[in-house]
Chain A
């Protein structure tokens, strides 16, 4: 076969030979052959490709190599064509013929197979331009996608084994160790212990027999860096171990690889065979006189065997249980002999450190964490795969710049670092550098590099339970703190997730965690409590919601609810029931179900922010149910039962300040409980923001009036045109009524706080819409600038168009995906001709004779992340520009108008919101408050929920003070709910809501959305998967 390599010249000769062979090829096709791509079918692609290239007579022009894992697994099978570096993804055997014809023969790369940016839709042909790859620094993964892992000659072509040569023939063992110490490399397995120091301890230990071990167990779920390294570049690991063995004086090595990695094991074995063949492994390596050989030892599915002493025990053929240290493995390890154990990634770094010097390695990274680190970026992120970055890169850079952000427009919630031993880092830490100490301070650990991204649909309590379940399962059982402690912690977490959490559970978890961390025998037990501690630290409110409210905000812990849509709805509307009735054509019954929990279903069916849809399980298949549109269909078409007056059965009188959705809902609920209720509304008509904010083309007046009538028909007294603080004082109400509910909303627009804003023609959005809805004349002019990105901004912009403006532009200081407005609204506005400019901020109002003539703005760029997880806009110097404007509408926020309160009201207000307790009671024991007045601008449904909660609290408080039992809701009329689901689920999108054409509607206030037809509604209703099961 091949001669053994003896000298440096031999190495260079092979390198040159391979180089010559490769340079003869016109095209070199690197097809990814990692486990991920194999699973996606890359082997078939390879076979068809080879056959086609052969049959076209291109075999001596086109080289085809199956490389190791490229790291971009979700897009597999992937392929790179050199030398142009063209990247292809999601390949199918059917694509091969076109590829060969167009690209290989005609020289026209195939666009449809290239990478497309998921946000912009731009095609990026070259691998080096794709953000996922361009932001990475490939040092330890330098050979990925470039060599055939089953060919040692490819490795030699890339300067392989030159490091080993230097170590064995040009350096003394202590010089090797010194170089590693200069590099300051820390163990990449998770503990981060300085590698050079570890080797030094072992080198000093006495003995002829020493072992060099590689920990390739990679048990962390979600981590596959080591697998990819072994599949892509196995020789890097071998070369590293040869160097390490030399440094400590060892002649036998083992690679402990988990059995779940058959491809990695196969490639390592081939590499070992070839290494021996070429004389770089075995006896008298490279003619140096140094002997070293190694073999692969397969794991058998025990996570704990990733712990060093357990690993050694496993190699010894026993149960993988750790033992106390000291003695440390460097002194007494495998079979009692001095041993060094390092992680795969650590070993793969060593050849470069020896070849180019430790200082080169240390030139990258932070003060305490040098070099690069490979992260396995997985979970809810667009670009799942392997990411190698210099230490010090921030979490945000990795998740957003490289990972491409969160798919589906969902919000980032946390990133789990370090697997089951680690912790989660929420949005406030997106600027955190990847550095051992920095991460540790934030409550997580670097770990082996697993980084799992979680979004708003992940429940952190469930994640803590999941990790604890894993650790409990994998606990070896030797020490009590881990064996019993993790079990107890798991039981508590399971109870919490099942809706049986108790007061004191969080504190007990924290106490147990501390005890286990202090007393467990090995790293598994010592770190098992970390995910729990870290989720409690950052997401305590989520634990509390589970324990006290029996709610899972992410709608994951299914033991606490039947369907996620109903659970997420702030008022708990029984969505599956009314959808089932709609599917069966029983619209009148569906309407009755709606009214049971929501007095404003017609309104919500038009304007609700539909949090239910964001958790609809159908959304995981194709698109969520169009719940809001179905609700509207029901309210438009059902026969509405007459509302009967409810008799007053109690003596107490309740006053409600504010006739908006919150106040009216509370009034209705109190009326049901027998109270005499009076609502004081300052405007000529009730409705609050529904009447005076939301324009008629979104919510027709008649629709709103009908639902308000349904409330006043019960006997609620509504006094319109009465402003508390002007027509009647707060103190009078306080004296004349037994309880008061404040629901005045947040109806004062935030000022822009820029020079010139007192000019005529500058409006706050709320005031603009109110004035307009009062039918007062507004001369809006031709050019209108709207500042802001929420629903008020969109409403203002679309209303300005209808008032006759020619040119309406919304100026928003962030990017489109950050806009709080509903996507449907933004799209509708754009269709009508509203322009939107992003990343701009207003700096001055230009005025003439006291009137607005223009607006000066500056351009923004996105800087670091702020605490909410969004990138902070920063002004770009000298980027000012002026736009013409006849009117400026500021829609950047809304505040409480406190003028209704008196000096002696005793109602505390801070940060522009009314302070309330858990039960919505203010600091005045007779006064409750809810809705926007307490929360700031929120959704209608939130206001309705607050009204229901406050009414119940007021009623409870009155009854308790009089020693009366709680109110019992009279039973509802029985409505039988059909249970039908489709046998086969066929993917199909949401039914589209028909709309008035954009050019017709932009000047009219007729309702834009037209509502579903009966067929559309029933067909949409069929998509519901009845997550509530057959429960009634």
Chain B
């Protein structure tokens, strides 16, 4: 839940590279004029920028000639869009019914405990972020968790440590210093 006003989370134009901005503009051009294009545009833009802070939303609003409020409304409505950065390793844990019945909540608790962040947040070093998904449609493998493109199946809470270690950066000796992303 986003309890703060978006103006408190401030990201500058410099957050993104010129190359990224160029890609964003291209996407906007591609869809300009098509009715109902906002959602596909935001999806493709987010694939480039990783998240959709106000500065990106303004670009899209201006480019598509629609009010910023409408863009903000759509970004905050759909759970796929995020205004917070995601980690280099995006953990998406399924809390669908089949996974819930097979112990997904315990996996979530273990993850939050291990990384010292809550769902929807990202570690200070931007290595890991946790998101909840409600059903990836892989119920046969419950409980399911994806990290980037890897799907981990039949995950057991006691094995979470082992799984996370696979994604730890090579030279990281101090595993304890994970603070919640201040931004």
| Cα(A419)–Cα(B100), bound, Å | 13
Judge whether B40 and A379 touch: CB under 8 Å: no
Residues of B within 8 A of A380 (CB): 101-102
A221 and B156 contact, CB distance less than 8 A: no
Which of B35, B74, B136, B144 is within 8 Å of A319, CB to CB? Answer: B74
Given the interface pairs A40-B153, A452-B101, the reply to whether A384 lies near B139 with Cβ below 8 Å is yes
Contact with B along A203-230 (1 / 0, CB 8 A): 0000000000000001111111001100
Contact among B35, B79, B98, B158 with A221 in the assembled complex (CB-CB below 8 Å): B98
Contacts A259-B43, A315-B36, A470-B134 given; does A458 touch B141 at CB 8 Å: no
Assess A224 versus B138: contact at CB under 8 Å? Given A259-B43, A315-B36, A378-B98. Answer: yes
A810 to chain B, nearest CB (A): 35
* CB proximity to A under 8 Å, residues B72-128: 73-74, 77-81, 94-103
A267-306: which residues lie under 8 A (CB-CB) from chain B? 297-303
CB distance from B156 to the nearest CB of A (A): 6
The answer to whether B27 has its CB under 8 Å from any CB of chain A is no
Partner of B138, one of A73, A379, A450: A73
**Chain A residues whose C-beta falls within 8 Å of the C-beta of B78 in the assembled complex:** 299-302, 320
- B133 interface contact, C-beta 8 A: yes
Is A260's CB under 8 angstroms from B141's CB?
no
Query: What distance in Å separates the Cβ of A1020 from its nearest Cβ neighbour in chain B?
Result: 18
Q: Is B39 located at the chain interface by the 8 A CB criterion?
A: yes
- Which of B35, B98, B140, B158 is the one whose CB lies under 8 Å from A452? B98
Inter-subunit contact B137/A218 (CB<8 Å): yes
Q: Does B70 contact A (CB under 8 A)?
A: yes
- In the complex, whether B142 has a CB less than 8 A from a CB of chain A is yes
Given contacts A298-B39, A317-B35, A416-B97, contact A39 B77 (CB under 8 A): no
A775 at the interface (CB under 8 A from B): no
B135 at the interface (CB under 8 A from A): yes
Q: In the complex, A206 Cα to B74 Cα: how many Å?
A: 32
Q: B62 on the interface (CB 8 Å rule)?
A: no
Task: Output the least CB separation between A73 and chain B (Å).
Answer: 2
CB distance from B64 to the nearest CB of A (A): 9
Q: Is A35 a contact partner of B42 (Cβ separation < 8 A)?
A: no
A600: B residues at CB distance < 8 A: none
Q: How far is the CA of A260 from the CA of B74 in the complex (A)?
A: 18
A476 touches B98 (CB 8 A): no
Quick check: A303 and B134 within 8 Å, CB to CB? Answer: yes
Point out the residues of chain A lying under 8 angstroms from B144, CB to CB. 39
Closest chain B residue to A334 by CB distance?
B36
- Which A residues are CB-close (under 8 A) to B156? 620-621
- The reply to whether A222 and B39 form a contact with Cβ atoms under 8 Å apart is no
Bound-state CA distance A473–B131 (Å) is 14
Residues from chain A with Cβ under 8 Å of B151 in the complex: 38-39
Tell me, yes or no, whether B37 is within 8 Å of chain A by CB. yes
| A224 lies within 8 A of B134 (CB) | no
Q: In the complex, which residues of chain B have a beta carbon less than 8 angstroms from the beta carbon of A320?
A: 77-78
A808 nearest CB across to chain B (Å): 42
Contact across chains for A219 and B134 when beta carbons are under 8 A apart: yes
Nearest-neighbor residue (CB-CB) of B66 within chain A: A317
**Complex partner residue of B139 from A73, A314, A466, CB under 8 angstroms:** A73
Give the residue name and chain of the B residue nearest to A321 (CB). B77
**Interface membership of A454, Cβ < 8 A:** yes
Query: Given A73-B141, A470-B134: A301 and B79 within 8 A (CB)?
Result: yes
* CB contact between B97 and one of A38, A73, A379, A476 (< 8 Å): that residue: A379
Q: Which residues of B contact A463 (CB under 8 A)?
A: 101
- Residue on B with the closest CB to A985? B158
CB nearest neighbor in B for A37: B140
Assess whether A812 is interfacial by the CB under 8 Å rule: no
Q: How large is the interface on A (under 10, 10 to 19, 20 to 34, 35 or more residues)?
A: 35 or more
* Chain A residues near B95 (CB-CB < 8 A): 221
Q: In the bound complex, what is the Cα–Cα distance between A260 and B36 (angstroms)?
A: 20
Q: Is the CB of A298 within 8 A of B40?
A: yes
- Please name all residues of chain B whose beta carbon is closer than 8 Å to the beta carbon of A319 when the two chains form the complex: 73-74, 77
Check A385 for interface membership: any CB of B closer than 8 A.
yes
Contacting pair A221 B101 (CB below 8 A): no
A722-B37 Cα distance, complex, nearest whole Å: 90
User: Are A466 and B100 in contact, CB atoms less than 8 angstroms apart?
Assistant: yes
A317, B77: Cβ atoms under 8 Å?
no
Interface string of A95-106 (1 = CB under 8 A from B): 000000000000
Q: How far is the CA of A380 from the CA of B101 in the complex (A)?
A: 7
Determine the distance from Cα of A36 to Cα of B156 in the docked complex, in whole angstroms. Answer: 18
B67 → chain A closest CB, angstroms: 12
Using CB atoms, name the residue of chain A closest to B137. A224
Measured between C-beta atoms, what is the minimum distance from B23 to chain A in Å? 18
Name which residue of chain A comes closest to B161, CB basis.
Answer: A984
Which residue in chain A gives the minimum CB-CB distance to B134? A221
Of B74, B135, B140, B153, which is within 8 A of A220 by CB?
Answer: B135
B153 touches A39 (CB 8 A): yes
Instruction: List, in ascending order, chain B residues with CB within 8 A of A218's CB.
Output: 137
Shortest CB distance A223–B (Å): 7
**Which A residue sits closest to B42, measured CB to CB?**
A300
Interface flag for B130 (CB, 8 Å): no
Q: Which of A428-450 contact B (CB under 8 A)?
A: 450
Residue of B35, B42, B138, B141 with highest tally of chain A CB at under 10 A: B138
Determine if B38 is an interface residue (Cβ-Cβ < 8 Å): yes
Question: A453-486 toward B: CB 8 Å interface, digit per residue (1/0)?
Answer: 0100010000100110010011010000000000
Knowing A221-B98, A300-B78, A454-B101 touch, does A378 contact B36 (C-beta < 8 A)? Answer: no
Question: Is A379 a contact partner of B39 (Cβ separation < 8 A)?
Answer: no
Report the bound CA distance from A218 to B137 in whole Å.
9
A317-B39, A470-B134 known; A222 vs B98 contact (CB < 8 Å): yes
Q: Which residues of B contact A473 (CB under 8 A)?
A: 134
**Known contacts A317-B74, A318-B74, A620-B156; is A73 also within 8 Å of B140 by CB?**
yes
Which residue of the partner chain, among A36, A301, A316, A1025, contacts B140 with CB atoms under 8 Å?
A36
Is A33 positioned at the interface, with any CB of B under 8 Å from its CB?
Answer: no
How far apart sit A841 and B153, CA to CA, in the bound complex (Å)? 45
Given the complex of chains A and B, what is the CA–CA distance between A318 and B97 in angstroms? 28
Q: Judging by beta carbons under 8 Å apart, are A219 and B140 in contact?
A: no
A36 adjacent to B138 (CB under 8 Å): yes
Known: A221-B96, A300-B80. A36 touches B74 (CB 8 A): no
CB neighbours (8 Å) of B142 from chain A are 378-379, 384
**Do A261 and B137 touch across chains, with their CB atoms under 8 A apart?**
yes
Q: Lowest 4 CB-CB distances: which A-B pairs, in order?
A: A73-B140, A221-B96, A39-B151, A300-B78
- Which A residues have a C-beta under 8 Å from some C-beta of B? 35-36, 38-40, 72-76, 218-224, 227-228, 259-261, 297-303, 314-320, 335, 376, 378-380, 384-385, 416, 419-420, 450, 452, 454, 458, 463, 466-467, 470, 473-474, 476, 620-621, 985, 1025
Q: List 30 A-B contacts (CB under 8 A).
A: A36-B140, A73-B138, A73-B139, A73-B140, A74-B140, A75-B140, A218-B137, A219-B134, A221-B98, A221-B135, A222-B139, A224-B137, A260-B135, A260-B137, A300-B42, A300-B80, A300-B81, A302-B78, A315-B36, A317-B35, A317-B74, A318-B73, A378-B98, A384-B98, A384-B140, A384-B142, A385-B140, A416-B97, A474-B134, A620-B156
B residues within 8 Å of A by Cβ?
A: 35-40, 42-43, 70, 73-74, 77-81, 94-103, 133-142, 144, 151, 153, 156, 158
Not counting A299-B80, A452-B98, A463-B101, a sample of 16 additional A-B residue pairs whose C-beta atoms are within 8 angstroms of each other reads A35-B136, A36-B138, A72-B140, A73-B141, A221-B98, A221-B99, A221-B135, A300-B81, A301-B81, A320-B78, A380-B101, A380-B102, A384-B98, A420-B97, A470-B134, A620-B156
